[in-house]
Chain A
């Protein structure tokens, strides 16, 4: 500590000496200006929390020399009287693309995808470019610098926002008067990352968010391996990544879910990213806080939608309306929860919009000190320049703002923005601020006049009661010239006045419409603050914020449902076990488990539900679903075992709620069918309102999707460049991958030094019986083939999904021990389903195959009970067996039948109360429970419908009242993207 103090002192002393210039000068005699500049009498924010009144700031040579209330001003000082002003450290934006050339979009290529990288000597994937240095493409941009300075910024971090690993940025002072030698503060500032591919390369992989995550993980694995000297070839990307390891790393995540994803990748490799958020962090604040990351927050709060047309308003979701209402509270909620953040102008159209947005955050309750920290000390800390930036302590860069007062008031004028000791005038301080409200006396009549807006270029409004008169004003060189039109007879009144510092009133010459000259008077009735309020129509009241729900969309709950102890009385209980269907039976739920099944059970404090006339079943399990995911296919490679749907579970998909309304409680979200070897599954419970991680099963069984046939051969679209193109090729692809995985695993087990390969790790798990395959399949030849491949490698295929020709090889399937998860009645949509028959399930079941009925469809999934019933029509299954096809059988196939799938003491209380025989088309799920918590209820649903209508009305009214964004603009109605997936969605 003492040492640091000493060091500080040295720095302080050093700051007083002129920096030694080593450049020869042939233009003149070599001279230096060693004068000081002293600003006296100002209120000075040395830091956001250290404020000095009537203080002096002394600077020289671009640095702060001293600051305080008792500062000795050196003799060779230019003294600036700054009394009445406030001085702040100027702002820092750590996340911009300032002056850095944008990446050029790759051209051409046609429809056939590019699978290989475009470069040699670099990483195997073009989207990984840690070797890139933004300084190489940096050109100081005077125009943007001026706009940024006007918004109060003095220093920006700049980088090229392109690719997954984007390389390093630069740190630049917005000093238009110096040159790059002065203003480039760091040529290698920070490493930057995102989940988005580079626009400069057409290399296919990764096509998905989960692919981008897997690629990042593999990149770090490869870095370690390379660093240990294991590679025989040179990889400039990995070398750069190794070299830059110590730099701060900024991750452009872009929304709350991706914030958590970025953090998860970082955690695996001991990296704490600084995360560029999306502004919706407030919706999952507990999880955001748990990342322990510092955030960089965009501030582009959405404008109100134009909902004046009710037909169009239908297209705006409640979630989007809420987002408009709630998003400005994001910074406050972050601050209230102790999450540290800086602000960025990054996604604003122009930095000129910054102050308006910032004011909105403050209006929503963001504390001003936190706001100032988010613009000074926090970004300084992020970029590792806390000593010299973001404060005005001696030794710091002389980057500061001189304002007319509190910078977080809309009426405050920013006079000057000094960068590196050079002065930039924003608004001339010598120009008197004439903004205010006035009583204008002209031509014997009295008018109300308001001057507002930019202090240097005020806007004028003149009115008489409700009548407004069009008016124009110019304000130059201490003269104000304005005119007013009386529209009734198109009379124009022209006025000029000299502005004097001694009076707040304006008086001068008036030229009447008839050309006669006389005089006018305008007496100020209130100052700038009042005028601003009047002009903007704002009041001091904080806006009403509607409640956040979980998830924060229509049908979200105000709190995540909690487990309760329940006694179902007198139900028809479909046990799914040897007991079959029990009439007039009670089921007791305790601590989320089924505690007892029997007659006349006593409640012992449990909530009693009269289930007379109702049917109670285990929750439905969908073996093949694609709801609740942000990506389904990673189509960039023919094998994608390294990706996992667990990375991209979307807990806010409304189809989760709709599935619950259909009695579904568990699903397997499978990777799609683009590749012979797909990605890993997520097996989740539909706990609506919980986070993605909390939905995933504890100790979840490990699954991976494989696929056969037309999709992996890419038969049904124009693609001829990827192996395999035939079923023959599919087999050999498996043979190759499994052989490699076997060798990899053997090598690893022998303790040899291997390159960690996430893809082969996953395949080795299959060989070792630790991971199960659910394989998309249609025709009998391919079904048979995969079983034989598995047998050659001494493992068993767990499930064939779709399996529409399973009935043709049901005996072989039974012998192999594989299950079948099929559609009830789909066929005819492509050539390979020509022989698909709805009797498939029944035939397979009779041959001893464990058979499930699945959906692969967000609509069908919510009435799987009916699909199960079709096995009665097609093939004559019994009702009990039919019911198992959507409960116990899929549970068996997913290896979760010890926990769910039937009503048995000790199993999870995932239960559905039906109004009718659950196999009947007439049955409705009245209540759906997961682990004893009520996640769907017809009564609650009815109440929410009303509440949603009311809340929509409230928000529509608020939006109609809203004055809009810049220039009164409102957003055209529309909705945020929502994509529904099936197997084939790429």
Chain B
């Protein structure tokens, strides 16, 4: 065991080139790199054994079996596994550093309908939480404001950057709408019982959304109206320039949300959460709505639900033909590094491993609209990928040796590995 430990350490040293180089973004790719001998998990459900993958200028130029010619620097990854970078939707990564420290929290602005609030400009490219994503293979995220009815506008970033401009992959990609709940939990702090109870204001709350959106639509068609930032930010929803992410879990809420979005000219919309989506898969398919389900590591919402309903929910939707990805909006940001294991959990429920990988790579890219460059390994797409000693979906074997984002070699080091080494050295453990 101690040998493996040393081996990892040695690898880490090689890749980073400098033990304490954390947070120093990798240099732009300066020559072709070829990785050989690994099992390539493409992210679209397929695998190439003993694969060779070549990339240059940040883009994959060749991908195939061992007969594929190599170019430039060759990394021998025999016996290892290569994956597209994992994509984390709907997270406030980079917007909050320490949850309990208010000064470090920039994720939730005042106001209920604030689509003009933009996450990107507050994204902390040097966040210690963000860097801790990378050694687990999570390389891309949708940094997303939280709270309110419309929380604001997200952007998609990659996790190895000097600043937010460097980080941006897709600026202002979507607006995030928290759909009202027809049932809510009792507000115990004002003396209500804690259990579920019907939300009497549901219809009114839905009405407020409709009213806001109608105003935005009217604003978009008119000329000469005084400038309104919130409406202006909303207008692209009607042309497909932005995607609407609708957070809804209940069967009724999902149906209401989809019917509303479809009938009001929202061009692209996604259900986020979708706890009861498995009950209405035909409806979702008919309306061509993708679902970003919550992380599988969750308890059932209802006492009588199957204990493993959250584990198998992605499979239930996938089996029914719904496009499904995984997000963990409800969790603390640090948990996002466990994305791979959320997908692994579904394999225990009988899903094929490659298909499970899609839930956090290819499918998420498609749903977020970045599949032209990210989410799968393919010629012409970005070389955003990582190499793992073993099966990356399993905790036992998710041990990374190389990370590349847009072809740049990225450090495997973090604040945490630094402390690990410092104290291991103190005790002479390595």
A residues with CB within 8 A of B = 311-312, 314-315, 317-319, 553-555, 654-655, 657-658, 661, 710, 715-716, 807-808, 810-811, 825-831, 834-835, 837-839, 843, 846-847, 858-860, 862-863, 866, 869-870, 872-879, 881, 915-917, 919-924, 941, 945, 948, 952, 972-980
Contact = CB atoms under 8 A, between A and B. Distances in A.
Given A314-B302, A810-B423, 13 more contacts: A317-B303, A554-B304, A555-B307, A658-B299, A715-B100, A829-B98, A831-B101, A839-B424, A863-B297, A869-B395, A916-B348, A921-B348, A921-B396
Interface in B364-404: 393-399
Nearest to A936: B307
A846 B419 contact: no
B79 to A, nearest CB: 17
A873 B182 contact: no
Contact of B416 (A315, A654, A837): A837
A977 B186 contact: yes
A811 B427 contact: yes
Contacts of A975: 195-196, 303
B56 interface: no
Interface of B: 1-2, 4-5, 8, 97-101, 128-129, 182-183, 186, 188, 193-198, 250-252, 276, 297-300, 302-304, 306-308, 332-334, 337-338, 341, 344-345, 347-348, 393-399, 416-417, 419-420, 423-424, 427, 429
B100 A830 contact: yes
29 contacts: A311-B252, A314-B250, A314-B251, A315-B302, A318-B303, A555-B304, A810-B427, A811-B427, A829-B100, A839-B417, A839-B424, A843-B423, A846-B427, A847-B427, A859-B297, A859-B299, A863-B297, A870-B395, A874-B420, A921-B344, A921-B348, A922-B344, A922-B348, A924-B348, A941-B307, A975-B303, A976-B193, A977-B186, A977-B195
A756 B97 CA distance: 49
Nearest to A808: B423
Given A869-B396, A974-B197, A828 B348 contact: no
Nearest to A833: B98
Nearest to A949: B304
A858 to B, nearest CB: 6
A837 B421 CA distance: 11
A954 B397 CA distance: 48
B334 A974 contact: no
Contact of A979 (B99, B194, B198): B194
Given A843-B424, A877-B1, A974 B98 contact: no
B394 A974 contact: no
Contact of B420 (A311, A553, A839, A979): A839
Nearest to A653: B303
Closest 8 CB pairs of A and B: A977-B194, A830-B100, A921-B344, A876-B5, A839-B420, A975-B195, A869-B395, A554-B304
Contacts of A869: 394-396
Given A922-B344, A922-B394, A977-B193, A829 B306 contact: no
Nearest to A829: B99
A838 B302 CA distance: 32
A311 B334 contact: no
A312 B198 contact: yes
From B5, B303, B333, name the one whose CB has the most chain A CB atoms within 10 angstroms: B303
From B341, B423, B427, name the one whose CB has the most chain A CB atoms within 10 angstroms: B423
B308 A661 contact: yes
Nearest to B295: A859
Contact of A978 (B303, B334, B427): B303
Dominant secondary structure at the B interface = loop
A879 B99 CA distance: 33
A843 B299 contact: no
A974 B196 contact: yes
Contacts of A831: 98, 100-101
Nearest to B400: A873
Contact of A830 (B4, B99, B303, B419): B99
From A314, A878, A915, A980, name the one whose CB has the most chain B CB atoms within 10 angstroms: A314
B304 A952 contact: yes
Contacts of B100: 710, 715-716, 829-831
Contact of A834 (B98, B303, B308, B423): B98
Given A828-B99, A976-B195, A948 B304 contact: yes
A919 B1 contact: no
B23 to A, nearest CB: 15
B297 A876 contact: no
A276 to B, nearest CB: 20
Contact of A828 (B308, B333, B420, B423): B333
Contacts of B129: 828
Contacts of A843: 420, 423-424, 427, 429
Nearest to A977: B194
Contact of B396 (A554, A710, A920): A920
A870 B398 CA distance: 9
Contacts of B347: 921-922
Contacts of A811: 427
Nearest to B5: A876
Contacts of A829: 98-100, 332, 334
Contact of B307 (A661, A846, A847, A980): A661
B424 to A, nearest CB: 6
From A829, A838, A876, A973, name the one whose CB has the most chain B CB atoms within 10 angstroms: A876
A839 B416 contact: yes
A311 B251 contact: yes
B334 A828 contact: yes
B74 to A, nearest CB: 27
A825 B135 CA distance: 13
A654 B332 contact: no
A876 B417 CA distance: 13
Nearest to B183: A315
Contacts of A974: 183, 195-198
Contacts of A828: 97-99, 128-129, 332-334
A830 B251 CA distance: 35
A920 B348 CA distance: 9
Given A828-B332, A922-B348, A974-B195, A846 B303 contact: no
From B8, B393, B399, B416, name the one whose CB has the most chain A CB atoms within 10 angstroms: B416
A860 B335 CA distance: 12
